[in-house]
Structure formats: structure tokens, C-alpha cells
Amino acid sequence: MAEKKKTGKIPEIKVSAKKKIVFLGSEAAPFIATGGLADVLGSLPKSIAKNKNYDVSVILPLYSAISTEFKSQFKFLTNFNVAVGWRWQYAGVFFMEHEGVKFYFIDNEYYFKREGNIYGFYDDGERFAFFSRAALDTIARLNIYPDVLHCNDWQTAASVIFLKGMYYGDEKFKRIKTIFTIHNIEYQGIFPMDTFESLFGFSSSLKNFVEFDGNVNLMKGAIEMTDIVSTVSPTYAEEIKNAYYAHGLQDIIKRNAWKLVGILNGIDTDYYNPETDKYLFKNYSAKDLSGKAVCKEELQKLLGLPVKPETPIIAVISRLVSHKGLDLVRSTIESVLAEDVQIVILGKGEIGYENFFNHIAYTYKGKCATIIAYNQDLSRKIYSGADLFLMPSKSEPCGLSQMIASRYGTVPIVRETGGLNDSIKAYDGKSGNGFTFKDYNAHDMLYVINEAIRTYHDKDKWKDVQGRALNTDFSWGASAKEYDKIYSDK
């Protein structure tokens, strides 16, 4: 990392007369990634920045887990102290420009130098209260006041609350429009009420906004106070008005529905590109899929599965948690394995699922392989080598894996929920780019899996549906235009 210098003068960052967007989030590829949020914050800002009318920045925590390859390129800009409740904590600011986007990193080793994961610590509330406030103070300190502050998920919800509730006395903050994007309403940032002042330092007038069910609820506060709420697919925007999907916030969502929009995420189609992907055994394109056959053969060898080009491989790449619909997989996997198929499972999560899928792989050696890991390299080898991609989520705000699978010619089987519903349409011989079922029901899922297997063996139909999956446009193009619209609306 560039050395910290204590200088009086802050190096100047060139800011143009363009419309300025600052994104806040807790992770962004390629710097730090644990889930879909990182993909979005790694690709949406880049895509917005392609529009030359925009000046785009992202502010992130400086986790120790960020690789030294990047850290060595960071430039130290400034440091100051940030109020965390009644205390003051050090914040350093580092900078790097990457693919047309300005990235600022907030340094505080006490909060962000941690072993293992980037979340899941007893003091996550405090860590992100610090980050949310430090981000606003960075904006003031560096004089990079944006036109739009685009906050993402509970970790940056407090920024909206601070800005709208405590910084609005400052004209420059007052004119900032805020967008709060819900990537997953399950994680709301809920903390005991006694943290309201001591830890977050919220002023008492904000209680009505922030309190929910006797707790501090950061996501609720941000939804109430932001100018625009967005979520990552149109279907999810509707679903979260219902208790089944809203994890308690349905009434808050309904009350704020007038400022709610659902915009489907895209993926970085340059990054996820079978023609250039370095992780693949062999590259291929939508026009010439011969390399995909090699990917399949090598994957089978790698995972100790018999090399059988005519046997469909069904892949699951997922966090092994219940909302991913794994109970349906658990209750039907043996029926599926009774067919001539191979199943590959890659993921990590709840111990119950890990044990179950390990056990199945052991019992069905040569038909099923389970790898308990989060592994980028292997995931690409599976996306490219498999034939079908199973994603039967109970709820799915957007979901990116079904788009990535499609891009590699691996046809998705999904439940019609959230972004899965908006991105994958049932194949009927004339249209559609995958296989879908509606109700959260194991038999319905089994039925479409069998239909997908039958289609796989019908060469013409398979070519047709696979081609439709490969040719669906999952780039950010259309969605970036929709963001452009909400950034520009006054």
C-alpha cells in the first residue's frame, strides 16, 4: 500500500462538470467479493461511466483482504477523525482509478483488518456505522459532492439516514439526491435500540424513521428517508409488498411504493465471456460450441465423473442456504439421479446442506460430485462444462448465476421468482430461454427437470433452447439506461 503521509495539502482529484454519481457499498469486484453485490458494484458503475456525461465514483471499506496487487497501486489522499456515536475514530482515504471509475477506500485497521470473512462480526453495526459516516465525511473533505448518492444494502443505509437527517443543514449535502438499492431485504441491519445514539449517533428526531419493532432497523430508516428506493428486478419490487418475501417490511414498502422502482441487474459480459475466459479448459463462442464439449469432458475428468458426452450435467452453484431453494433439491435429488444424469454441486453455507450434499456425492459416486467451497476458477469450469443450471430459489431479488450460466450456454432451470422470473422464460418450442416452474413445490421442479433432460436428448430442440440462452442479452445496456433516467429525473 502507498505510504500514509501526514500532509496538510490534500491531492486534488479532477472532477468535471459532468453529472456526478457516488456509489457506496460494502463490496465491489475486483477488489473484494463475497456475493452478487460485488458483481453489481464492479460492473454497474463501469457501465454508467461509459456514458461520458457521468463522473462515477465508488467508496468502499479498505479491508485487509484486498490483494496487495491493488493495494500497491492505491494513493493516500487524506485522513481525519469520524464520529462513531460519542467516540472519534481514525479514517484514512486511499484512491485508485480503475476502468474509468474512481474508487475511494476508507482505511481503519481496527474495523477492517480482520481475518476470514468481511462480515459476521459482533460489531458489524459499528463497523458500518463508521463506514457510512466516513463516506459522507470523505465527500465533504475532498469536495466531491455528487448529484446522486447511490447506497446499497443495509451496510450503507446509515449514510442515507445521516445525510437526510443530520447533514442537510449543509447546502451541498442538501441538494444530493439519494437512491437506496435493496439487493436483499432479508438482511436489514437490525440492532438493539440502545445503539441508536451511543453507536450510530442518530439525533432523537430520527427515531420514527429508524425504529422498527423496538429495534434500530437501518434498512427501514433508509427506505423511509431516501428519495428513491430501487431493487434489483421488477418482479422483486412487487414481491416485497407481500409478507412472504418482505421479512417484516411489507407495510413500509407499500407505504413507500410511490418511490420504488425495480431494475434488473446485468452482468459484465466482457468479464463473463466464454471466448476469452482464462479459467476455461477451452474457449468457445455462441457460434462455435466445439470448445464447450472439451470443457465438459475435462470437467468430468477433474471431478472423477465418467466421461460421457451424451449424459447431461446438471449444475448447482450457490450459497448453500435455505432461500436458494435447496430443500427442493434435497427432496428430489435421488429421483433425478435415477436418470442418466450427472449432478455437480459447488457452494458453501449451512452445515446441514453441506453434509447432505457430501453424503449424496459419496453414495452416488460417479454420478454426483460435491465441492464445498467458494471457488471462482472451479465455478467457471462448471458454468462452461455443464449442460443445465439448476436455481430453484425460494426468493431471488435478482440472481446473476442464471445469467452467467446462459452466457456459457448452460441452460437454466429456475423457479419463477424475482429476477429469475424477469430473466428466464419457459421454452415452449418457439420461444423461451430455459425451463421454469411456478410454485415452490418439489414435484413441479422434478417435472421440469425431467422435461429439460428430455429436451437435452432432442438434438434440434436442444440446439434451439441453448442458442436462445446464449443469445439473450444480459449486459447492463438496457438497465444502465433506466438508471440514467432515475439519476436524471429531478
Query: Which of the 8 DSSP states describes residue 169?
Result: T
Q: Which is nearer to ligand GLC, 36 or 409 (CB)?
A: 36
Strand partners, 315: 344, 389
Residue 202 C-alpha cell reads as 442518530
Phi, psi of 416 (to 5 degrees): -80, 75
Q: Which residues of 20-31 are buried (b: 16+ CB within 10 A; e: fewer)?
A: bbbbbbbbbbeb
Q: Which is nearer to ligand GLC, 217 or 235 (CB)?
A: 235
Q: Which is nearer to ligand GLC, 184 or 342 (CB)?
A: 184
Q: Which is nearer to ligand GLC, 21 or 295 (CB)?
A: 21
CB of 69 to ligand GLC, least distance (A): 25
User: Of 150-169, which residues contact ligand GLC (CB under 6 A)?
Assistant: none
Query: Which of the 8 DSSP states describes residue 73?
Result: T
Residue the block writes with cell 456515536: 85
Interacting span for ligand GLC (CB under 6 A) from 129-137, 285-293, 307-315, 396-404 = 396-404
183 lines the binding site for ligand GLC (CB under 6 A): yes
Residue 82 C-alpha cell reads as 469520524
137 lines the binding site for ligand GLC (CB under 6 A): no
405 lines the binding site for ligand GLC (CB under 6 A): no
Interacting span for ligand GLC (CB under 6 A) from 24-32, 192-200, 216-224, 395-403 = 395-403
Q: Which is nearer to ligand GLC, 191 or 474 (CB)?
A: 474
246 lines the binding site for ligand GLC (CB under 6 A): no
Q: Which is nearer to ligand GLC, 311 or 393 (CB)?
A: 393
Continuous H helices in 349-458: 351-363, 376-385, 401-407, 418-423, 442-457
Residue 256 C-alpha cell reads as 413507500
Distances (CA, A) of 74 to 31, 114, 290: 12, 20, 42
394 lines the binding site for ligand GLC (CB under 6 A): no
CB of 395 to ligand GLC, least distance (A): 8
CB of 391 to ligand GLC, least distance (A): 10
Q: Which residues of 414-424 are buried (b: 16+ CB within 10 A; e: fewer)?
A: bbbbbbbbbbb
Interacting span for ligand GLC (CB under 6 A) from 162-170, 171-179, 283-291, 392-400 = 392-400
When binding is defined by CB under 6 A, the residue of 165, 291, 392, 399 that contacts ligand GLC is 399
Helix (H, G, I), strand (E, B) or coil at 112: helix
Chain CA centroid to CA 204, Å: 33
Helix (H, G, I), strand (E, B) or coil at 14: coil
CB of 132 to ligand GLC, least distance (A): 19
Helix (H, G, I), strand (E, B) or coil at 392: coil
26 lines the binding site for ligand GLC (CB under 6 A): no
45 lines the binding site for ligand GLC (CB under 6 A): no
CB of 232 to ligand GLC, least distance (A): 4
When binding is defined by CB under 6 A, the residue of 24, 28, 32, 40 that contacts ligand GLC is 40
Task: Give the sign of the dihedral formed by CA 380, CA 382, CA 385, CA 391.
Answer: negative
Q: Which residues of 249-274 are buried (b: 16+ CB within 10 A; e: fewer)?
A: bbebbeebeeebbbbbbbbbbebbeb
Number of residues that bind ligand GLC (CB under 6 A): 14
37 lines the binding site for ligand GLC (CB under 6 A): yes
Strand partners, 181: 152, 230
The residue type of 26 is S
142 lines the binding site for ligand GLC (CB under 6 A): no
> Which residue number has the CB closest to ligand GLC?
36
Q: To 5 degrees, how large is the angle CA 61–CA 246–CA 123?
A: 30
Q: Which is nearer to ligand GLC, 335 or 376 (CB)?
A: 376
When binding is defined by CB under 6 A, the residue of 132, 184, 406, 466 that contacts ligand GLC is 184
The binding site for ligand GLC (CB under 6 A) comprises 35-37, 40, 183-184, 232, 265, 396-400, 419
